[in-house]
Structure 1
Amino acid sequence: MGENNNTSSIENKSYEYIPLEERGGSPRQFFFTWFAANTVSTTLVTGALAIIVGLNFWWGSLALILGNSFGAVITSLHSAQGPKIGTPQMVQSRAQFGYYGVALPMIIAFIMYVGYGSTNTVLVGQGINETLGINLNAVIIIAMVPMVLLAIYGQGIIERSMKIYTIFYAAVFLVLNIIVISQLSMEVLNKGSFSFGQFLLVISLGITWQITYGPYVSDHSRYMHPDNAKRTFLYTYLGINLSSTWLMILGAAVATMTVNGNVMAQIKDLGSSFGSLIVILLALGLIVVNSLNIYGAGIIALSIASNFIKFQTTIKLRVITSAVIGALIVLFSTVGANNFMSNFQIYLGFILFFIIPWSVITLTDFYILKHTNYDPRELMEKDGIFGKLNKSTLIIYLLTVMCQIPFINTEIYQGPVSKMIGGTDVAWLVGIVIGFSLYFVWSKITTDSPALKKASNIDFS
């Protein structure tokens, strides 16, 4: 790829725009990146939730297929924005929220990164603790070191690691697949029932899983040339959908055989000593994949800082930022490890609640209203055409978030409409419809805005 994206040196970009002369490479690499990102035990655990909430294997699998297939379209559209604009994903949102207004969705995205980073780190600790008996907190602290180092070196080494990881761990999960199938029975697969509310909940889990990649897929695809936007969409979709659907269904199959929902313990018991080896490999694999969360969180943190302070990214700054984020993840991992499954389910619901409105607004603006034409240089200017603070977008965003509240059903709170419709959680669907409708209509009735007119007439591709 470009000169700032190789494996021999530390990446020297974070929130900055990537000039065309520094771009290159093939979009095929995104198949490996996003296939690998899902080829982890966290995906198994997410799929297991389909059984834990009460569905049988068949209904749970169908819901996971639908959720992932739909959500992957949204994420892949975000990925295709990277080559067109050449900036990290959340920096692009200055076009909708304004130079300073984007700080709010950036903070939400940062919380998301740290949450997923903590989730993966807990699974590393649990896997090693379950098999080798090493203290959980000690494993978490030690495992964080290589995660932070990969994030510091950045894009080039992460991409190369992901390609090797995909090939090796696809084989590991294939072996696990064979072991699981050999021990399944129709009795356990049929165990459970069907509830429309549970079915929609599991669909939303698949959508959530996919859309949470949305805030940082462009962090990687921004190194592609604009001509590769369509292929970036295709390879992102194939990689991110195939791996997540496969492993979630596998996780659901494993969950049909568990008593307390402990998927990793069940995998250990499935294959005797070989099962223990698989658990160890799955835990160690998360070290590579979790570097994506630390890398993305670092870009977000520096992007937020760039809203208020002018600076160029340096190696020292990357090191300090990544180390601080690693420390935060260790803190949350050690605190939340004991109630992992409960915390994880609540966390997924929280993320969907706030990310859906941001995603809908961003994609509507980019693909429908402005027809993919942004001038990326204007995103770096606080006095640029996109303005300092777009109050209208922030109001629409917050209003969409609030409109979802009556429809949610979580362990913490159940909305009145959700109670009326038998516990069904359709907040995500409400978020999509309301977010799109409000932003589209408001943008159409304010087309006299000079910024909108100027932005929609730029062709920078």
Structure 2
Amino acid sequence: MENTKTKSIESVGFEFIPENDRKGNPKELFFTWFAASTVSTTLVTGALAIIIGLSFWWAALAIIIGHAIGATIMGLHSAQGPKLGIPQVLQSRAQFGYFGVILPMLIILTMYFGYGAMNTILVAQGVQETLGFNINLTVIISLIPMVLLAVYGQNIIQKSMKLYTIAYTLIFIILTGLVISQLSMSLLSQGTFTWTTFILAVSICITWQITYGPYVSDHSRFMKVHDARKTFFYTASGSFLSSAWLMLIGAAIATMVVNGNVMSEIKSMGGMVGYSIVILLSLGVLVINSLNIYGAGIIVLSIASNFWTFRTSGRLRVIVSIVIGIVIAFAATAGAGNFMSNFQIYLGFVLFFIIPWSVINLTDFYILKRRYHHEEFMKKDGQFGKLNYKTMGVYLFTIACQVPFINTEIYQGALSKAMSGMDIAWVIGIVIAFSCYTVVTKVTERSSATQVSDMPIASPIE
């Protein structure tokens, strides 16, 4: 395979990356995943812990615990990349079957489109509020650098993320100083503790990290096999530090406002400095959103590879990335008015599909320790089969088991109501997916081994 890192435009999509073509440095992943959460959405999400009733101190504990757990799960996904050398979701052909994996792929693809549109809207709205530019025109213009970064691929994305991290760390240090200067102990102590609100805040942070699970091996597959441990550490630490830091800032700001409008408070608290921070937060998404377009491109190519035999080229990646950019532009301009609220509701439901996928994938790799040759992932009639009905059954059963524990804006499960509104659907998803997949796999393997041992041995004369 041609070297995928020396070409100006990356020429690999769903394919396996040979060890000799992997030129990545695990330290680069720290910057990639630190930068990924340095957006205004992180600040606003951190404010939710205060809005639901916790004091800052309890909110801070929930944020730290939640992100520590979630970042560990995300880091485990990232460490799969160097070992397997293929994109994250494509790895699930080993569990779901060659065609069975299309279902989680399609669900995750809608998540990429949704996040891509949401982030583009954030850019456009921020620019409109501060500079007064037309929102639809800003959406279209802002997508140009996002698509270009995705087209040029891993190498340029990580270089951009490194520069972004350095610049925005300084910005968030300034913002932290502004917030501390206006806080008081009385504000930080307002609020009450209940297990329902505390677990909800922890859940928000865990699921925030888990939504990065489908992304990470797309980037870590460029690392050497022996760098898997470093890959885990740099991915998890980068994501934890930025997410926890910004959500703590968001929670602190939320103690100072009545309506939870964090961005408006930042503009007012710092004069021109606060105003500039809001503009920079909006423009920073131009870099971050390339991750969504890049990941969506890999999913599209992976699905296409199920039906056609082809090899990714730079030209093909350009075409796919542009089409994805057009879809995101349409979603952002057509639905800018109600998109944000509707997408937040949708994301809540997407998580119930992503969590069992994540658990099944990690259980297979780390607990059952099943390993396969990389060529098997590309075979329609290989050892994975076309559709693994047992895994699909576990997947759908887990999703169904989560429903009674859901508490969202449009639906609350019966058991969530019985528990005073507590939402532990993600916990149920982890427990059910892990236990059922482990049992089903071990029973299947034991049955297969028994059948093989019971087969008659042919006589040498026959």
How high is the TM-score relative to the length of structure 1?
A: 0.94
* Secondary structure in 1 matching 2:26: coil
Over aligned residue pairs, what C-alpha RMSD do you find? 2.0
The question of whether the paired residues in 2 share the 8 Å contact of 1:86 and 1:222 is answered with: yes
AA matched with 1:434: I
Match of 2:110 in 1: 111
The question of whether the paired residues in 1 share the 8 Å contact of 2:82 and 2:224 is answered with: yes
CA distance in 1, matches of 2:186, 2:121: 32
**Structure 1 residues 85-111: Cα deviation after superposition (integer angstroms, max 9, x where no partner):** 000001100000000000001011111
Q: Write out aligned runs for 1:157-306 (5 A).
A: 157-306=156-305
The question of whether the paired residues in 1 share the 8 Å contact of 2:416 and 2:422 is answered with: yes
AA matched with 2:296: A
* Secondary structure in 2 matching 1:198: helix
CA distance in 1, matches of 2:140, 2:262: 23
Match of 2:459 in 1: none
Match of 1:49 in 2: 48
- More displaced 10-residue stretch of structure 1: 104-113 or 118-127: 118-127
- More displaced 10-residue stretch of structure 1: 103-112 or 310-319: 310-319
Q: Which runs of 5+ in 1 are unaligned?
A: 455-461
Match of 2:442 in 1: 444
Match of 2:432 in 1: 434
Match of 2:455 in 1: none
Match of 1:151 in 2: 150
The structural deviation recorded for 1:136 is 2.2
* Secondary structure in 2 matching 1:257: coil
**Structure 1 residues 198-252: Cα deviation after superposition (integer angstroms, max 9, x where no partner):** 2211111111111111111000011111111111111111111111111111111
CA distance in 2, matches of 1:139, 1:232: 36
The question of whether the paired residues in 1 share the 8 Å contact of 2:4 and 2:12 is answered with: no
CA distance in 2, matches of 1:133, 1:192: 37
1:404 and 2:402 aligned: yes
Q: Summarize the Cα distance change of 1:258–1:333 in structure 2 as closer, same or farther, 3 Å threshold.
A: farther
The structural deviation recorded for 1:442 is 0.6
CA distance in 1, matches of 2:100, 2:412: 30
Match of 1:385 in 2: 383
CA distance in 1, matches of 2:257, 2:343: 18
Residue identity (%): 63
Q: Summarize the Cα distance change of 1:10–1:220 in structure 2 as closer, same or farther, 3 Å threshold.
A: same
Q: Write out aligned runs for 1:410-425 (5 A).
A: 410-425=408-423
AA matched with 1:238: S
AA matched with 1:406: P
How high is the TM-score relative to the length of structure 2?
A: 0.94
Match of 1:457 in 2: none
* Secondary structure in 1 matching 2:366: helix
Q: Where does structure 1 differ by over 6 angstroms across 4 or more consecutive aligned residues?
A: none
Q: Write out aligned runs for 1:19-38 (5 A).
A: 19-38=18-37
AA matched with 1:272: G
The structural deviation recorded for 1:64 is 1.2
Match of 1:337 in 2: 336
CA distance in 1, matches of 2:6, 2:49: 39
AA matched with 1:349: G
- More displaced 10-residue stretch of structure 1: 150-159 or 307-316: 307-316
* Secondary structure in 2 matching 1:363: helix
Q: Which runs of 5+ in 2 are unaligned?
A: 453-462
The structural deviation recorded for 1:80 is 0.4
AA matched with 1:386: F
1:359 and 2:350 aligned: no
The question of whether the paired residues in 2 share the 8 Å contact of 1:113 and 1:294 is answered with: yes
CA distance in 1, matches of 2:2, 2:170: 33
